[in-house]
């Protein structure tokens, strides 16, 4: 499986950065406009719609149409892990349906004084069996501008 990661430092306390990323509105705010993201629904682990916090078991149904090209891509993401203490916080979501054969995204936040180190780490595999697997490392061409924009927007909104 291929991997991608991006790290950035945000001049904001861990508590603020963690709270921002713990709600679906953070996803909406950070996704670049050119991805044409639509959050179709969010369901909490107990089945309630629109939970305040994305806890383990929360499911996000979304769609996107990158650069306005092609049909909308449907995506189902489930929060599978979530941990937080005074120094570090993280959550992991897994794609349960969507354009990739596999997608596991770990969001990590580490306190460094009054700043926070933010890391996005993705393990993924393109569809198409062995050919998709072999081509997966090339997807960085699409990931890099999206995650660069996400990290820039994180600093913009929280600093």
What pLDDT is attached to residue 150?
95
Look at the alpha carbons of 75, 24, 9, 111 in this order and tell me if their dihedral is positive or negative: negative
140-158 vs 14-21: helix axis angle to the nearest 10?
120
Q: Span 65-89, mean pLDDT? A: 94
Report yes or no on 109 lying in a domain.
yes
Buried b (16+ CB within 10 A) or exposed e, 34-65: ebbbebeebbbeeeeeebeebeeebbbbbebe
Report yes or no on 71 lying in a domain.
no
Report yes or no on 118 lying in a domain.
yes
Report yes or no on 107 lying in a domain.
yes
Report yes or no on 39 lying in a domain.
no
pTM reported for the whole predicted model: 0.92
| Domain ranges, residue 132 | 2-32+78-158
Interval 51-70: pLDDT, tens: 999 999 999 999 999 889 88
CATH number for position 97? 3.30.530.20
What pLDDT is attached to residue 12?
98
Q: How many CA atoms lie within 13 A of 138 on its CB side?
A: 7
Domain count, the chain: 1
Calculate the average pLDDT of the chain.
93
Place of tokens 């149409």: 65
Residues in Cβ contact with 78 at an 8 Å cutoff, skipping those fewer than 6 apart: 57, 58, 59, 60, 93, 94, 96
């Amino acid at each position: 499986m291929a991997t991608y990661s991006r790290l950035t430092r945000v001049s904001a306390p861990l508590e603020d950065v963690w709270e921002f990323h713990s709600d679906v509105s953070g996803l909406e705010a950070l996704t670049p406009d050119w991805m044409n993201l639509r959050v179709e629904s969010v369901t909490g682990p107990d089945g309630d719609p629109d939970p305040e916090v994305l806890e383990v078991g929360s499911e996000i149904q979304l769609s996107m149409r990158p650069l306005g090209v092609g049909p909308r891509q449907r995506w189902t993401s489930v929060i599978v892990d979530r941990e937080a203490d005074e120094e570090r916080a993280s959550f992991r979501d897994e794609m349960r349906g969507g354009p990739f054969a596999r997608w596991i995204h770990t969001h990590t936040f580490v306190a460094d004084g009054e700043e926070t180190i933010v890391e996005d780490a993705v393990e993924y595999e393109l569809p198409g069996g062995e050919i998709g697997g072999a081509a997966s490392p090339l997807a960085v061409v699409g990931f890099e501008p999206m995650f660069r924009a996400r990290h820039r927007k994180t600093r913009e909104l929280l600093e």
